[in-house]
């Protein structure tokens, strides 16, 4: 379990992020077209997993915009933006914002991704959502960087995540 904050309120996650050097856990997530995507669909590419509570918050939206901008210049890298939002809401946001360089994926149907990656919030007003986190995975499926944002309203360290790909 990890302790994070929602401003001054202490909240907790179901576990801890995967260890650097470990194999990334497989996942099944729902894409905007309602198809299922697994980790195997992305093997061979480096991955930035941009995980957040909901696209309908300012910081979450900013992280998607920031990674969308960065993704256009990344080689052999895909940015997966993962939340528990419905795929319809994710698609609506991307359409309105002109987001085209990231892959939006939803953990709405089971929450298994959040549980498997140890970032499901287990108490407080965001219970059931995923904590704001970054996991970077190399092309062989090995975790090379993680960051769990200690205070949920704060942005991730974009530079550190992008530098992990070098």
Q: Which residues contact 160 (CB under 8 A, 6 or more apart)?
A: 145, 147
59 versus 143: the higher-pLDDT residue is 143
Structural domains in the chain (count): 1
Parallel, antiparallel or unpaired: strands 133-137 and 46-51 = antiparallel
pLDDT of residue 60: 63
Which pair of structure tokens corresponds to residue 56? 């309908």
Contact between 25 and 38 (Cβ < 8 Å): no
pLDDT of residue 59: 73
Active-site residue (options: 4, 47, 49, 60):
60
d(CA 91, CA 79): 15
Measured CA distances, 43 to 6, 77, 90, 138 (Å):
34, 10, 23, 9
- Percentage of the chain exceeding pLDDT 70: 98
Contact between 143 and 39 (Cβ < 8 Å): no
Q: What is the CATH number of the domain that holds 125?
A: 3.40.30.10
Give the domain range for residue 91.
3-163
pLDDT band at 56 (very low <50, low <70, confident <90, very high): confident
pLDDT band at 98 (very low <50, low <70, confident <90, very high): confident
pLDDT tens-digit series, residues 102-138: 889 999 998 999 999 999 999 999 999 999 999 999 9
60 is catalytic: yes
């Amino acid at each position: 379990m990890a302790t994070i904050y929602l401003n001054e309120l202490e909240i907790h996650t179901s576990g801890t992020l995967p260890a650097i050097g470990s194999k990334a856990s497989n996942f099944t997530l729902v894409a905007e077209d309602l198809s299922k995507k697994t980790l195997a669909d992305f093997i061979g590419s480096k991955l930035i997993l941009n995980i957040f509570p909901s696209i309908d918050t300012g910081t979450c939206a900013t992280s998607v915009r920031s990674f969308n901008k960065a993704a256009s210049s990344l080689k052999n890298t895909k940015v997966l933006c993962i939340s528990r939002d419905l795929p319809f809401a994710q698609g609506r946001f991307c359409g309105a914002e002109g987001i085209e360089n990231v892959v939006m994926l939803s953990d709405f149907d089971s929450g298994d991704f959040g549980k498997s990656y140890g970032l499901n919030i287990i108490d407080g007003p965001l219970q059931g959502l995923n904590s704001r986190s970054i996991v970077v995975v190399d092309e062989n499926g090995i975790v090379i960087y993680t960051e769990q944002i200690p205070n949920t309203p704060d942005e991730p360290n974009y530079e550190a995540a992008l530098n992990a790909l070098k």
